[in-house]
Amino acid sequence: MKKITFLSALLCVTFSYAQSFTENFDVDTGVTTTLTKTLQGVSFTFTFTSDGDGGDFAWENVYGLGNSASINVLSGAENFGTTEKVTIKRTDGNEFTFSSIFINSTDAATVFVGGYVADVLVGSTQTVATGIEATLTFGDIQVDEVRLTSTDFYNINIDAFTGNLNTLSLDSYALAENKVFISPNPVNNQLQVSGLPSAEQYVIYNSLGQVVQRGGFINVQSILVETLQTGVYFLQADNNQAIRFIKL
């Protein structure tokens, strides 16, 4: 069981704001297995991994949203016995907010799309079946990876990748004497918390800064989080201490 020690630096949950981004793939990038795009001054890397038969990206001036330019995703072989994977990440590995992506699945098998943090699925995956084109909307989830998988990427096109650089973050103000402990992290059902002064109240925020749970505990207590959806959350006590945790 993993225990997280948190030096309680009187932290405050805040938002770091930046403009939204949309990547429309208007620029011809040729054929490649790795594609780098700069979105609002931040580098993003699109990778066709070596999983399954591998494959590559090829720029096309059609088949995107409204038949605009797009990136064709093509498996190395037409083989439904393996699973190929495409990932989209910030090049620096930091988190970002994922909003939507357009998928045009011409001949491919069903395409699965999801957002992940530390390899944990945030929310649920969405799918696009063969012969369907659709914009998948994810409601601004905080992720460090967008993942597309299919048993065969034999001709799909992606376009209109949108999101922003807003992420729920923790700003440090002053170092306190206490240490706060939480375990396990990631957590399934019950989060153990210790090291807080007695009679503390707590609030749990999701990655959008929305309050999803409130309660109170006395020094050592467990918090039931089984009803929370999979994703990233912040536990904040009423003295502004806060800890980031992942719900499986």
CA distance to 48, 184, 193, 202, per residue, from 223 (Å): 40, 11, 8, 10
Cβ partners under 8 Å of residue 86, min gap 6: 46, 47, 48, 49, 73, 147, 148, 149, 153
Q: What is the pLDDT confidence band of residue 164, given thresholds at 50, 70 and 90? A: very high
Which is more confident, 170 or 108? 108
- Is a pLDDT exceeding 80 seen at residue 199? no
> What percentage of the chain exceeds 90 in pLDDT?
52
Q: What is the pLDDT confidence band of residue 17, given thresholds at 50, 70 and 90? A: very low
Token pair, residue 171, equals 């700003």
Residue intervals in the chain for CATH 2.60.40.10: 181-247
CATH topology (fold) of 181-247: Immunoglobulin-like (2.60.40)
pTM of the model: 0.74
Give the pLDDT of residue 197.
61
Which is more confident, 243 or 213? 213
- Is a pLDDT exceeding 70 seen at residue 8? no
**CA atoms of 110 and 205, how far apart (whole Å):** 34
Contact (CB, 8 A) for 225 and 235 = no
Q: Between the ranges 22-36, 106-120, 229-243, where is the mean pLDDT highest?
A: 22-36
- Give burial (CB, 10 Å; 0-12/13-18/19+) of 113: buried
Q: What is the pLDDT confidence band of residue 222, given thresholds at 50, 70 and 90? A: confident
Query: What is the per-residue burial (b if ≥16 Cβ within 10 Å, else e) of 12-35?
Result: ebeeeebeebebebeeeeeeeeeb
Query: What is the per-residue burial (b if ≥16 Cβ within 10 Å, else e) of 173-196?
Result: eeeeeeebebbbbbbeeebbbeeb
Amino acid at 66: G
**CA atoms of 87 and 91, how far apart (whole Å):** 11
Q: What is the pLDDT confidence band of residue 220, given thresholds at 50, 70 and 90? A: low
Contact (CB, 8 A) for 205 and 168 = yes
Give the pLDDT of residue 154.
84
Mean pLDDT of 180-186: 83
CA distance to 130, 138, 157, 179, 219, per residue, from 246 (Å): 33, 18, 32, 20, 22
Residue intervals in the chain for CATH 2.60.120: 20-164
Give the pLDDT of residue 4.
43
Tens of pLDDT along 96-138? 999 999 999 988 899 999 999 888 888 889 999 999 999 999 9
- Determine which of 53-62, 70-79, 200-209, 222-231 has the lowest per-residue pLDDT on average: 200-209
- Is a pLDDT exceeding 80 seen at residue 9? no
Token pair, residue 147, equals 């993942």
Contact (CB, 8 A) for 180 and 241 = yes
Mean pLDDT of 155-166: 93
Contact (CB, 8 A) for 65 and 102 = yes
- Is a pLDDT exceeding 70 seen at residue 196? no
Phi, psi of 67 (to 5 degrees): 60, 30
One of 2.60.120, 3.30.450, 1.10.390, 2.160.20 is the CATH number of 20-164, namely 2.60.120
- Chain-centre distance of CA 125, in angstroms? 11
Give the pLDDT of residue 216.
79
